[in-house]
Amino acid sequence: MAIRVLIVDDSSFFRRRLQEILSADPELEVIDSAVNGREAVDKALALKPDVITMDIEMPVLDGISAVREILKVQRIPILMFSSLTHEGAKATLDALEAGAVDFLPKKFEDIARDKQEAGDVLRERVRAVARRRPLGRSTFSSSVLARSASSTLARRPLESQRPELRHATDTERVGRFERPALTPRTHFAASGKDYKLVAIGTSTGGPVALQRILTALPADFPLPIILIQHMPAAFTGAFAQRLNSLAKITIKEAEDNDVLKPGVAYLAPGGKQMLVDGSESQARLRIKEDDSPRITFKPSVDITFATAAKVFHDKVLAVVLTGMGADGREGARLLKQQGSAIWAQDEASCVVYGMPQAIAAAGLMDVEVSLEDVASRLLTELKHG
């Protein structure tokens, strides 16, 4: 059965263009369109589409308000279209917080280098969004990938690089809505290892996962944290600011020559690579432009993990969270060879079980952990509190 799509945008040109692109896929069926947020709410509740594409700025009722109203009543995955500006980033983060599950740039040339590839990415994203369950308000879930070469978003990884993606299947009923069933809390015992750095890599679903983890850490967290989240360049600054306003620790967008300090989390800037440099006692970050067409993700979890392995050897606690693809697997392999610890998020709490699955399938995982337990288990492992 085809995936039924409702298109919401006040531009007739964009509605027609989007319908043409989606209709080229026999798995996708555009069932209707709406010209403003109010009409979107009415049609969503009446037609019950499998997925909605939603503009942010519209008359009568804006896209963010429409997302809130729709998700109060019905769990329909919503894909936002956004401008890649600072203002667009803030609005998109608001939409994700309202419950939208993903976003893409509204300018197709920002998705990929050519029209064919942009269409392929768009259709693939709509199919992926339709398979996900939105978790409701106060969550983020963004799988927009990092800038690659002249494209604002990363090009899709080659098929040979992408493990088969499996989505969470265990669910528990909460009211009328479904949420992933999280692993019950258990007693954790510290391994006794010595660490100097926590490194976290993620993609799809990462914003909500990072927010949940980082806001649960105390201000005197004993180690520096480096964060690699697939996200466009225009978005990482706004995301870091939002996290910093919510957390007790300090969170900032990483800058070149930042010295790693305990209790500070450094978010890799979009469109660039974040490298760990120096020595274990005097480590710093280097932020590099990367025009290589061979590197899919910018920032890349693999690249940052690999440089962390060279500097910190066996003293890294690396955590791979929810996300599409396999970025992080090869970097985790290098960390593992040095004796560092590799944790991976469990399937039940992932938005997309891709990156953690790649870690598990490669035999690199030391600990499988539910999202709700990551922060408390980190504190136990580091013997803090």
Alpha helices in 247-373 (DSSP H): 301-312, 329-338, 355-361
Backbone angles phi, psi at 151, to 5 degrees: -80, 140
**Residue whose token pair is 């926590």:** 198
Cβ atoms of 55 and 63 within 8 Å: the answer is yes
Active-site residue identified among 33, 82, 148, 203: 203
Of 9, 110, 142, 230, the catalytic one is: 230
- Interatomic CA distance for residues 266 and 155, integer angstroms: 24
Residue 108 backbone dihedrals phi, psi, to 5 degrees: -60, -30
Catalytic annotation present for 230: yes
> Residues 275-288, buried b or exposed e (16+ Cβ, 10 A)?
bbeeeeeebebbbe
**Whole-number Å distance between alpha carbons of 306 and 295:** 14
How far is CA 141 from each of CA 33, 102, 275, 355, rounded to the nearest angstrom? 24, 6, 25, 15
Known catalytic membership, residue 160: no
Single out the catalytic residue among 327, 346, 349, 370.
327
Cα–Cα–Cα angle for 211, 93, 152, rounded to 5 degrees: 105
Q: Please answer whether residues 351 and 373 qualify as being in contact, where contact means their C-beta atoms are separated by less than 8 angstroms.
A: no
Give catalytic status of residue 245 as yes or no: no
Quote the tokens at residue 297.
């993700």
3-state secondary structure (DSSP) of residue 338: helix
User: Which residues have a catalytic role annotated?
Assistant: 203, 230, 327
